[in-house]
């Protein structure tokens, strides 16, 4: 649709709502046309007035929440998405938005609450479970994080990102052998996974395995690692191997 088409649509919708203000879907269409044109203030005003007439119109609540989110007003966006759940507790779109918004504010408890509900509603949707596991990890709940990452891997054994995150969980828990297992699996899936090679270098260093440190850090350097810490760790490993010149 061209801008001219949108202006024509707006005129038509405005005429309809002037005659039939009881048609909630027309108010919403008008707001969407304003959004498409980037006129967010007009769209918000239209949705707010619509909700005065139809306070439980969930699509209008959702669109208003999206506008507030795009305007950098997370508290107001959260209010709108919470109103949706009060009317429709199984609304996946509102729960996802709330989970994202609460996580962005580091309100881990509320974010976890939303994604736990999403996993309960859609237990076979791997992305919900991975997001829940990541929230547990960020909030320091390592046991719960590990449990959900393991369930996610059971459904998708070759997901390198989930293996990497599970490796990070085991590393935080001090289980270096299991951490190594998952970081190695990442490199088996993707032999250019630089972050995994760096993790392996650190873990092999902790386990006093200088030969393995040298092997994985050479690969990391070949992939573009340039930090002083990498060269320091590599130099230490070479010294342990008796090669002081390197």
pLDDT, tens digit (0-9, with 9 covering 90-100), for 173-228:
999 999 999 999 999 999 999 999 999 999 999 999 999 999 999 999 999 999 99
How far apart are the C-alpha atoms of 184 and 163, rounded to whole Å? 9
Residue 190 neighbours by CB under 8 Å, 6+ apart: 160, 196
First vs last C-alpha separation in the chain: 64
pTM for the structure as a whole = 0.86
Rounded to an integer, the average pLDDT of 103-123 is 97
How far apart are the C-alpha atoms of 151 and 126, rounded to whole Å? 9
Residue 81 and residue 61 in contact, taking contact as beta carbons nearer than 8 Å? yes
pLDDT, tens digit (0-9, with 9 covering 90-100), for 12-39:
988 998 888 888 888 888 999 998 988 9
CA 117 to chain centre: 16
Which residue in this structure is represented by tokens 């260093």?
A: 205
Residue 67 and residue 43 in contact, taking contact as beta carbons nearer than 8 Å? yes
Of the ranges 21-35, 43-57, 127-141, the best mean pLDDT one: 127-141
Residue 206 neighbours by CB under 8 Å, 6+ apart: 176
pLDDT, tens digit (0-9, with 9 covering 90-100), for 60-106:
999 999 999 999 999 999 999 999 999 999 999 999 999 999 999 99
Q: Report whether pLDDT(244) > 80.
A: no
């Amino acid at each position: 649709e061209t801008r001219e088409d949108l202006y024509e649509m707006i005129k038509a919708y405005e005429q309809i709502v002037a005659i039939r203000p009881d048609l909630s879907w027309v108010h919403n269409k008008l707001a969407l046309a304003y959004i498409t044109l980037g006129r967010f203030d007009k769209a918000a005003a239209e949705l707010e007035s619509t909700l005065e007439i139809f306070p439980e119109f969930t699509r209008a609540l959702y669109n208003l929440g999206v506008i507030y989110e795009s305007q950098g007003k997370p508290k107001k966006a959260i209010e709108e998405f919470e109103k949706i759940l009060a009317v429709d507790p199984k609304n996946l779109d509102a729960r996802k938005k709330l989970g994202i918004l609460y996580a962005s504010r580091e309100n881990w408890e509320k974010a976890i609450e939303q994604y736990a509900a999403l996993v309960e509603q859609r237990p076979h949707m791997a992305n919900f479970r991975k997001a829940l596991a990541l929230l547990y990890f960020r909030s320091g709940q390592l046991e719960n994080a590990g449990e959900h990452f393991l369930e996610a891997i059971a459904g998708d054994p070759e997901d390198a990102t989930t293996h990497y995150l599970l490796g990070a969980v085991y590393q935080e828990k001090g289980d270096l052998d299991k951490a190594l297992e998952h970081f190695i699996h990442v490199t088996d899936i993707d032999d250019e996974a630089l972050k995994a090679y760096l993790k392996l270098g650190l873990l092999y260093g902790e386990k006093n395995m200088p030969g393995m440190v040298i092997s994985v850090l050479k690969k990391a350097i070949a992939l573009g690692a340039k930090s002083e810490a990498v060269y320091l760790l590599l130099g230490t490993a070479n010294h342990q191997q008796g090669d002081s010149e390197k």
